[in-house]
Amino acid sequence: MSELHTPHAGDDHAPDDDVVALLKRQHGDIRNLFDEVEACTGAERQDAFRRLVRLLAVHETAEQEVVHPYARRAFPGGEQVVEDRLAEEKTAKETLAEMDEMDTEDPTFMPRLVKLRTDVQEHARAEERYEFTHIYRNADAKTLAAMAKAVKAAEAMAPTRPHPGVQSAAANVALGPVAALMDRTKDAVRRAMGEGR
């Protein structure tokens, strides 16, 4: 089922000199990964879901560290737009943390996934419409490129979580919670941005 193994932005050869294009591609990857989770069962579903949790956690953390702070001051009303997006991201993070503990074969898993998908998609649409459009209008090419570089660093440096059943349960717990993954990603982005200065 390799055709179902959703690639991630950064796996392709796009130059990634524009943070808005990069984040929009990630929104596409997230949509495809939801499709993949829905299309699989058993261990494949579990694996696809782990990858979805990681991608979402890394994507949202990178936005929070890189683009939201820029958007706050880049255009009038930016402050409120960012507050609204942060509230949506907080809800998604809570749902992810809850679902992260779940067996993907649990009968309540799919209904929750469908709800999460709807929320995440509405959030992505709102970002593209109310935030990214303004970033793209206001940022020069150098700024767009620098932000893209930081987002890619987050993706590259965030820890990968082991496949459940392959690693020991203890190792999973150690790497486990979504919040810890987001914290590590935050550190990675901050290091990347510090180096760019």
Residues lying near Fe ion in the complex (CB under 5 A) are found at 60, 63, 127
Closer Cβ to Fe ion, 46 or 178, answer by number:
178
Smallest gap from Cβ 59 to Fe ion, in A, equals 6
Q: Rounded to whole angstroms, how far apart are CA atoms 103 and 108?
A: 9
DSSP conformational letter for 160? P
> Minimum Å distance from CB 5 to Fe ion?
22
The DSSP 8-state label assigned to residue 67 in this structure reads I
Select 46 or 55, whichever has its Cβ closest to Fe ion.
55
Residue nearest Fe ion, Cβ-based:
63
Smallest distance from Fe ion to CB 53, Å: 15
Considering only CA atoms, which of 32, 34, 24, 28 is closest in space to residue 67?
A: 24
**What single-letter DSSP state applies at residue 66?**
I
Is residue 71 within 8 Å of 19, Cβ to Cβ?
no
Of 92, 123, 99, the C-alpha closest to 45 is 99
Nearest to Fe ion of 110, 193 (CB atom)? 193
Question: Nearest approach, Cβ of 23 to Fe ion (angstroms)?
Answer: 6
CB of residue 168 to Fe ion, shortest distance in Å: 33
Q: How far apart are CA 128 and CA 130, in angstroms?
A: 6
Angle between helices 19-39 and 109-126 (to 10 degrees): 160
Closer residue to Fe ion (CB): 122 or 195? 122
CB nearer to Fe ion: give 23 or 113: 23
Nearer to Fe ion, 27 or 45 (CB): 27
CB of 135 to Fe ion, least distance (A): 12
CA-nearest of 153, 142, 134, 125 to 71 is: 134
d(CA 80, CA 72): 8
